Chain A
Amino acid sequence: MRRIPSSGKHRRRRVVALWLAVRLLTCAAATATVAGPLHGDSESAPINDVEAAYLFNFAKFVRWPNSVAGSPLIICIAGTDSFRQAVAGLVNGEKIGGREVQVNRVVSNEAIADCSILFVEVTERTRLASFLDAAKGKPVLTVSDAPDFLVRGGIIQFVLESDHVRFAINLDAADRNNLSLSSQLLKVAIHVTGIPGKGDTR
């Protein structure tokens, strides 16, 4: 499958890119602003719940290499218990792509290789570098709401845009981990970096 970034919304993309750059320059100081309740037009759920739902939905638009086919889809959470419970509440015995879904807490860096999705909450960003190292080259979709996540080698980063939860994607990072992301997912991302399809020779 060839991955193509969405071609629409160019103007908004540029604005967002500018905004991202500003955010990346002031990364350390900006972390506190993430907290607090948020309101969407259609959903008035707290940001945690939205992010949990998105995390769960990401699985539906990602293709893992064939080597992991049939094994359970394990969502590893490095962060607060409340978030993990929010994700676990969504699973509800559902299967994604025929795979059973489990939600685990990250106990060690070694266990990360077994994860299908690794979510690192911004509260855990001191361990972020070691987590990314552990996940590098493994078929692990790394997701975080840490503001400099994509720069540091993560694949999907949650972004708040006028109180809406959005996300940005680093395709090169996804390639490194042997994952292919659906164009549907790229279409709704506010920002996509990297060259689509690079190294996707499976």
Chain B
Amino acid sequence: MNKEPLQRWRKEYEQIHMSETAHHHIMQHVRHAPMQMFSRIASTAAVCVLLFAGLTFGAVNLSPTLAQHLASNPSLAPLVNIITFNRYQTSDGNMELDVQTPHITGLSDPSLEAALNEEFDTLASSVITAFQNDLQDLRDNASQLDPHISVLFDYTVLTNTPAYLSLDIYQVNTAGSAGAWHHYYTVDKNTQQLVTLSSLFRDGVDYITPINNYIQQEIQRRLEEDPSAYWNGDNNIPAFSSIRADQPFYMDTSGHLVICFEQYEIGPGSTGNPVFTIPSSILAPLQ
């Protein structure tokens, strides 16, 4: 009878504990992450799109057609709906893909509607193409690893107010998400125009510095709660220094500007996709 190593190993195994910081952070996330991030709610009104994309799936930029509509004319908003236009599922052994493409209907500007829907279709097909490339790559290079990958491309409505509707088009790589990023496209419901960050402020005003100052402050506050939540310059990973002029953002249900960062952009993976709601008191003088 030689059970001794097993008992010894089990003891050593049981002595492995997650750091309290990580434990705390994960439980906080589970308790407080907004529920609407986890279930899809089809809804009405204008559109603000945020996109989570996995590392291997490149950023999809605002198409030229869509960009032209930044200057589209204001008009009355009819009943606007988000529908699932297309669903594509495929699986190969342990590799699964599920893509649900949203379409927006009922926008008063049919060419903006068509451009948005074309954008959504392009996003979806780029995910499908990337998945197929990954599949081939893994077959060629890593078949001995018996990789398990599941990719979900889906959407959820984040915000639905008289002012804005936020449509979240996201991708979940059920196998890690290093380098996940967001793209937010915001449309003002009243004007039915896509909104850029700079368009929220007076022409020529420096909105970057006040927003940076607030985010710096907020990061320091959050670091006191959890010292490892954000990069602090250690290990040659630069700490947050400045937002970009076109930093991703969306408008929340209270009409506040929410500045968004990609996973790993300013903190470790366990921090997820950090967002900062900017108080109106900071923005008002700039508008």
Asked if A and B are interacting partners, one says no
Measured CB to CB, the residues of B under 8 A from A are none
Measured CB to CB, the residues of A under 8 A from B are none
